[in-house]
Amino acid sequence: MFVRPSNPSGNRAFTMLELMMSVAIFGLIMLSVLSCWKVIVTGTIIAKNAAAAAQRARIGIKSVEEALECAEIDQRNLQFYAFLNDTSQKFASLSLAARLPAAFPGSSLFGDNLVRRVTFTVQADKDNNGQNNLVMEQSPLLEALDSVNTPYPITLARDVNIFMLEFWSTNQNEWVVSFDPTNQFPPVIRVTLGCGHSADHPDVPYEVIVRTVAMPAKEHQ
């Protein structure tokens, strides 16, 4: 029978094989801990980004919805009241005249100018990070756009990858993607806004909100 030789000091010593196995086991444990930590951190970041995208989308869609609900047209002054939209590009754009409430974003800057032209467009982020933002611009309806009365921009939503307009056609009895008349409103407009994305899927938004807005039936008198 083989007997391990005794240590002169009376203490059992570790062999090189035991030390290597201990280091390997410790390394595996640390690797598992770091992997779990990475999953937790990544999940937290994704959750925060998704929550932020949802909040931005809600703010953006609410402003568009409110502007549409307050829209006005005056046939005698169509150069000011024209209803304009463009859905031919990746992102839609919208411009209209509206009588906006005091609680509407930016209203405090316009004093008694309740009726303003409001324009919604998707623009590239100024930081050149490859993202697009939903920007709302306002200007007094009947005042010239000079150095004082330039459109006031507000970024409503960041990292926008969907901004789409659809119009209900009473003739076709279905949704259409274009509305050409500038002197009237479609009966109903459907607005779709998507914000946020993951690193692996830049065109798939974290949050998509769809709102259907019934347009005002009466013209401004």
128: alpha, beta or left? (left if phi > 0; alpha if psi -120 to 50)? left
Question: Which tens digit of pLDDT belongs to each residue from 82-91?
Answer: 999 999 999 9
Which residues lie closer than 8 Å to 187 by C-beta, 6 or more apart?
Answer: 168, 170, 214, 215
Tokens found for residue 89: 């590009």
Q: Which residue has the tokens 């932020």?
A: 52
**H/E stretch holding 65:** helix 16-69
Global pTM?
A: 0.73
210 has which bridge partners?
A: 192
Question: Which tens digit of pLDDT belongs to each residue from 150-202?
Answer: 677 888 988 889 999 999 999 999 999 999 999 999 999 999 998 887 667 76
Question: Which tens digit of pLDDT belongs to each residue from 54-65?
Answer: 677 788 899 999
Q: Is 185 exposed, middle or buried (0-12, 13-18, 19+ CB in 10 A)?
A: buried
Question: Which tens digit of pLDDT belongs to each residue from 2-27?
Answer: 445 555 555 566 687 777 887 788 78
Cα(first)–Cα(last) distance of the chain, in Å?
A: 112
